[in-house]
Amino acid sequence: MEKLLTVSPSPHTKCGRTTQGIMLDVIIALVPALIASIIYFGLRALLVSVVAVVSCVLFEFLSRKVMKRENTISDLSAVVTGLLLAFNLPSTLPIWMVVLGSLVAIVVVKQLFGGIGQNFVNPAIAARIVLMSSFAAKMTNWVVPNTISTDAQTTATPLKLLAEGKTDELPSLFQLFIGERAGCLGETCAIAIIIGAIYLFVRRVITPLIPLCFIGTVAVFTFIAGDFDVNFMLYHLLSGGLLLGAVFMATDYTTSPMTTWGKVIFAIGCGLITSLIRLFGSLPEGVSFSILFMNILVPHIEKLTKPKSFGEGGAKNG
Amino acid sequence: MGIFNSRGVKPAHRKHTDNQKAVRLENVASVTIPMRQHIGAPCTPTVKVGDVVAVGQVIGDTEAFMSAPIHASVSGTVSKIAEIRLANGEKVSAVTIKSDGEMRLYEGVEKPQYNSVEEFLKCVRSSGLVGLGGAGFPTHVKLKVPQGKVDTLVINAAECEPYITTDNRECIDNTADVIDGVELVCKVLDIKSAVIGVEDNKPQAINALRTEISNRKSNIVVKALKSKYPQGAEKVLIHSATGRVVPMGGLPMDAGCIVMNVASVAFLARYMRTGKPLVTRTVTVDGSAIANPNNFRVPIGAFMQDVVNAAGGFVKEPKKIILGGPMMGNSVSSLDYVITKTNNALLAFDEKDAKPKKETACIRCGRCVSVCPMKLMPASLEKYQRCGDAEGLENGAVLNCIECGCCSFTCPAGRQLVQSIRLGKTIVRTAQAERKKKEEAKG
């Protein structure tokens, strides 16, 4: 044999899953929510989504080019960031602000820290918070869903109504479930997000651990704080960005702990901060901030919850 | 938190040779037998060029305890004694025997006699037996345990590596030998119970063993284990078969167990009956480039080329050839290597199967953490290794890694995790040695 064979250390076989495949699964899981947003907020929702995705991919491409690094747009992570950013914006937001959000998410939060896997906070959430603090009015300019016939052009989100005690103006729980309410693009339709979540569980992209602990904590907290009123609790669970955040944002691999108990602590922390902000803070919504805070704690949580290696506790007789 | 974690991985089984009884491969022109095929001291050749030898004759031995003698696997003339390279990269001297084609058995081969545990262990040593599952730990060393320390014999027939079916065939074709061997070891070493662990993807093997056991009214337990790699890794097997945990840095003995490969116990039973030492072993020949995948009973020291020829040669150009399984075997640069006591498989992969996965950035998905059977954090260990952080590696219990490769297998980013961890172990060992030196200097 003249040609030498390939020699490499074991293992010589790898599973078929790739980063690109995982991101594609996340994109597929986001499609139901995207369709819902177009139904409720019209083509403007589609426009915001397309602009966010295209600008995220473009910024990713350009920053890799400028930094003279291998281009990574084919891993599709920028598409996911773009979609999630769009889902966290109101459909009325001026297009240039959407582009600015993409710039913050991709260039500042992701690429300046080294690209995929290196950002210490969730890019889409960081971008949403930057936009929120810069353009508070534009970021809370909510329109009435297309499916409701009314003369009003703008409205308030259910959480805002809850906070102000205007319970008679609240949409019904069923409306919340199908997404017929004011809010950011992708956060309104609970059923669409749940379908996406089930897809991600089945495809084993994420485990239900973080979403369940996050939502569960908010449920317990609001149930107790609302004097054991189930309705009050359900309104909190189905309003705001809780479902979207718990399923798609808090489960972001890079910015959540790798350890099992770390995931539990992280998710409970998210739930607690969300509830505290919603019930006692001056803002009506706290999902983004809670995830951002917990993102920053991830290295410490991971250190605290490092699993004990097999046999580290000495011999055990079964 | 078992429900959220799934330790181990599930590579495709690819047990194509499940139903192939091992075919004897005898007509080899020559064999080259390495003087070290085990963990421990190498043997020194006890023959010289020109000597006539017969099957089962000792051709290499040593005074060292941690070793096992080497025997001629064909009859013929010693034609060369020179250094060769083994699949794991080691260089070792080897005896080449030109076969006379007769496979004449050495006249000194006779049924071993023993009256005490010591004599029994001496016989085990003379058989040349080392762990046939792949580790190559000398069996007589393994069986030398302080009295009363071990109460369970665990037999490893899990065979969790893809492709390989030699242990499966051992259970089906030599069922009586397996059970004989287990009973023998238990009796001599005064071990109370025995468990044979078999993955549940081998129902035929499980049935064969259970039938034999019930016919004999023996109290050996056959435990069907979940088919999941690395079920056959020593510490994992002990845990699945007995529920016991081997302490970190400890031996199976510390959990009251001895673990033996199923082919090893079956061989031991045959040896104690006939006295014929370890001169052949079963090898699964498979992979996408092999024409007729099959199991072969191969003389130790046979060239890979002869074994490949026996399986009908290549149907496609091989790009990667592996001695051992795809998860933990060694890949070799050419067919100029020989089969040793520890080679349970020869796999030849075509271009598609040999293609490496592209390595991209870690996305911290945590899959490596959730699959690690030793509960380590491979992604973190890889980072520590990259920056040479001995302390981080040590705190991460890097030395507890069994190098099963689950982390690398499962990584969607194609990171070389177990490969980095192996290098990380060296960093820690170097640091520990330096620390020791310093302490000694201080007095």
Residue A202: which CATH number? 1.10.3430
- Could you give the CA distance from residue A47 to residue A66 in angstroms, rounded to a whole number? 28
**Peptide bond preceding A208 in cis form (omega within 30 of 0):** no
Q: How many domains does chain A have?
A: 1
pLDDT of the residue at A283? 83
- Cα dist from B170 to A193, B22, B132, B177, B205, whole Å: 53, 9, 12, 9, 8
Residue B401 has pLDDT above 60, yes or no: yes
Mutate: best of B85, B154, B248, partner A, most A CBs <10 A: B248
Provide the pLDDT for residue B4: 40
Cβ atoms within 10 Å, residue B387: 7
Which residue of A10, A253, A318 is in closest CB contact with B405?
A10
Residue among B380, B406, B421 nearest B5 (CA): B406
Residue contact A318–B376, C-beta within 8 A: no
CB contact under 8 A, B405 and A259: no
Residues in B touching A313 (Cβ below 8 Å)? 245, 247
Residues of A in contact with B419 (CB under 8 A): 9
Q: Does B26 touch chain A (CB under 8 A)?
A: no
Do residues B125 and B140 lie in contact, with contact meaning Cβ atoms separated by under 8 Å? Answer: yes
Residue A312 and residue B235: Cβ atoms within 8 Å?
no
The answer, for B235 touching chain A at a CB cutoff of 8 Å, is yes
Cβ contacts of A115 on chain B, cutoff 8 Å: 361
Name the CATH architecture for the domain at B117-274: 3-Layer(aba) Sandwich (3.40)
Mean pLDDT (whole number) for B301-319: 95
Average pLDDT over residues A218-230: 94
Which residues of B are less than 8 Å from A253 in CB distance? 363-366
Taking the Cβ of residue A16 and every Cβ of chain B, the question of whether any pair is shorter than 8 Å is answered with no
Chain A residues within 8 A of B249 when measuring between CB atoms: 311
> 3-state DSSP call for residue B70?
strand
| Integer Cα distance of A198 and A192 in angstroms | 10
Tokens of B309: 């020829």
Q: What pLDDT score does B6 carry? A: 61
**Class of domain B23-108+277-351 as given by CATH:** alpha beta
Distance from CA of A316 to the nearest CA of B (A): 5
**B270-291 average pLDDT score:** 96
Contacts of B330 in chain A (CB under 8 A): 10
CA gap A150, A285 in Å, rounded: 25
Q: Does B342 reach chain A within 8 Å, measured CB to CB?
A: no
* pLDDT tens track for A3-42: 789 999 999 999 999 999 999 999 999 999 999 999 999 9
B244 near A CB under 8 A: yes
State the pLDDT at residue A159. Answer: 87
Q: Which amino acid is at A59?
A: F
CB pairs under 8 A between A and B: 184
Contact B329 A5 (CB under 8 A): no
Instruction: Assess whether pLDDT exceeds 90 at residue B430.
Output: yes
- Res. A154: pLDDT tops 80: no
Domain encompassing residue A102: 19-304
* Pairing state between β B294-299 and B23-24: parallel
Alpha helices per DSSP H over B387-416: 390-395, 406-410
Say if B405 is an interface residue toward chain A (CB within 8 Å): yes
| Domain membership flag for residue A254 | yes
Predicted local confidence at residue A151, as pLDDT: 67
- DSSP character for B35? S
Please name the residue ranges forming H helices in chain A. 19-41, 43-66, 77-87, 95-102, 123-134, 136-139, 158-164, 173-178, 190-202, 209-225, 230-238, 242-244, 260-280, 287-304
- State whether B333 and A117 contact (CB < 8 Å): no
The lowest-confidence range among A144-148, A172-176, B50-54 is A144-148
Mean pLDDT, residues B343-361:
93
Quick one: DSSP state of residue B386?
Answer: H
User: Of all helices (H) and strands (E), which one includes residue B44?
Assistant: strand B44-45
Q: Which residues contact A215 (CB under 8 A, 6 or more apart)?
A: A237, A242, A243, A246, A271
* Residue B412 in this model has a pLDDT that exceeds 60: yes
Q: Which A residues, 74 through 103, put their C-beta within 8 Å of a C-beta on chain B? A: 75, 77
Contact between chains at B245 and A313 (C-beta distance less than 8 A): yes
- Residues of chain A in contact with residue B255, where contact means CB-CB under 8 angstroms, are 315-317
Q: Going by C-beta distance under 8 Å and a sequence separation of 6 or more, which residues neighbour residue A240?
A: A157, A158, A159, A183, A187, A278, A284, A285, A287
The reply to whether B4 touches chain A by the CB within 8 Å rule is yes
Region B12-16 average pLDDT:
94
CB contact under 8 A, B375 and A259: no
Average pLDDT over every residue of A131-157: 85
Report whether B370 contacts A206 (CB < 8 A).
no
Report CB contact under 8 Å: B361, A118. Answer: yes
A253 forms bridges with which residues in the sheet? none
pLDDT at B291 over 50: yes
- Give me the residue from A12, A114, A314 closest to B322, CB to CB: A12
Chain A hits for B412, CB-CB cut-off 8 Å, are 15, 17-19, 21-22
Confidence of residue B3 (pLDDT cuts 50, 70, 90): very low
Mean pLDDT of A222-230: 93
Residue B374 sits at the chain A interface (C-beta within 8 Å): yes
Mean pLDDT of B89-96: 94
- Res. B5: pLDDT tops 50: no
User: In DSSP terms, which residues pair with B138 in a beta bridge?
Assistant: B130
pLDDT recorded at residue A14 = 93
Taking the Cβ of residue B64 and every Cβ of chain A, the question of whether any pair is shorter than 8 Å is answered with no
Kindly report the number of other CB atoms within 10 A of residue B248's CB atom.
18
CB A25 within 8 A of CB A79: no
Averaged over B57-68, what is the pLDDT? 95
Residue A195: pLDDT band by 50, 70, 90 thresholds? very high
pLDDT of B358-370, one tens digit each?
Answer: 999 999 999 999 9
- Chain centroid to Cα B324, Å, comes to 8
Q: A271 to chain B nearest CA, in Å?
A: 20
Is residue A1 included in any domain, yes or no?
Answer: no
In chain B, what are the domain boundaries? 23-108+277-351, 117-274, 367-442
Contact status, residue B222 vs residue B196, Cβ threshold 8 Å: yes
Overall average pLDDT of the B240-264 stretch: 95
- Partners of B353 on chain A (C-beta within 8 Å) are 13
Give the A window 188-217 contacts with B, CB below 8 Å: 207, 209
What would the two tokens of residue B322 be? 């592996």
Is the separation of the CB atoms in B34 and B84 below 8 Å? yes
Q: Is B308 on the interface with A (CB under 8 A)?
A: no
Give me Rg for the CA atoms of chain A. 21
Angle (CA) A31-A37-A41 rounded to 5° is 155
Q: Which band of pLDDT confidence, cut at 50, 70 and 90, is reported for residue B417?
A: very high
Task: Determine contact, residues B38/B138, Cβ cutoff 8 Å.
Answer: yes
Handedness of CA B238, B244, B246, B252 (dihedral sign): negative
Report the share of chain B in percent with pLDDT over 70: 98
Indicate if the pLDDT at residue B320 is higher than 50. yes
Residue A6 lies in a domain: no
User: Average pLDDT of B102-117?
Assistant: 94
Q: Tell me if A315 is assigned to some domain.
A: no
- pLDDT on residue B2: 41
In the block, tokens 């410490």 appear at A300
Query: Tokens 């795809």 label which residue?
Result: B326
Q: Which whole number is the average pLDDT over B330-354?
A: 94
Q: ipTM of this model?
A: 0.92
Q: Which of B437, B436, B439, B427 has the alpha carbon at shortest distance from B396?
A: B427
Nearest CA in chain A to B375: A309
Predicted confidence at residue B163, as pLDDT, reads 96
pLDDT at B387: 94
B254 touching A, CB under 8 A? yes
- Whether the Cβ atoms of residue A144 and residue A152 lie closer than 8 Å to each other: yes
Task: Quote the DSSP letter at residue B43.
Answer: P
Interatomic CA distance for residues B8 and B231, integer angstroms: 8
Residue A233 maps to a domain = yes
Residues of B in contact with A116 (CB under 8 A): 360-361, 363
With a CB-CB cutoff of 8 Å, which residues 120-179 of chain A face chain B?
A: none
Instruction: Locate B8 and state its tokens.
Output: 């181990």
- Give how far A299 is from chain B: nearest CA, Å: 11
More confident residue, B37 or A156: B37
- pLDDT at residue A1 tops 60: no
Instruction: Report yes or no: B112 at the A interface, CB cutoff 8 Å.
Output: no
DSSP type of residue B252: G
- Is the Cβ of B3 closer than 8 Å to some Cβ of chain A? no
**Cβ pair B409:A15 closer than 8 A:** yes
Q: What is the pLDDT of residue A212?
A: 97
**Is B18 an 8 Å CB contact of chain A?**
no
Cα→Cα distances A15→A314, B5, B270, B275, B419, Å: 33, 17, 40, 45, 16
A5/B375 CB distance under 8 A: no
Is the pLDDT score of B99 beyond 70?
yes
Which chain B residue has the Cα nearest residue A261? B1
What pLDDT is attached to residue B1?
36
**A230 belongs to a structural domain:** yes
Distance CA B3, CA A110 (A): 33
| Interface probe, candidates B3, B221, B364, B383, chain A, greatest A C-beta count within 10 A | B364
In tens, the pLDDT along A247-302 reads: 999 999 999 999 999 999 999 999 999 999 999 988 878 999 999 999 999 999 99
Residues in chain A: 318
CA distance B146 to B139: 15
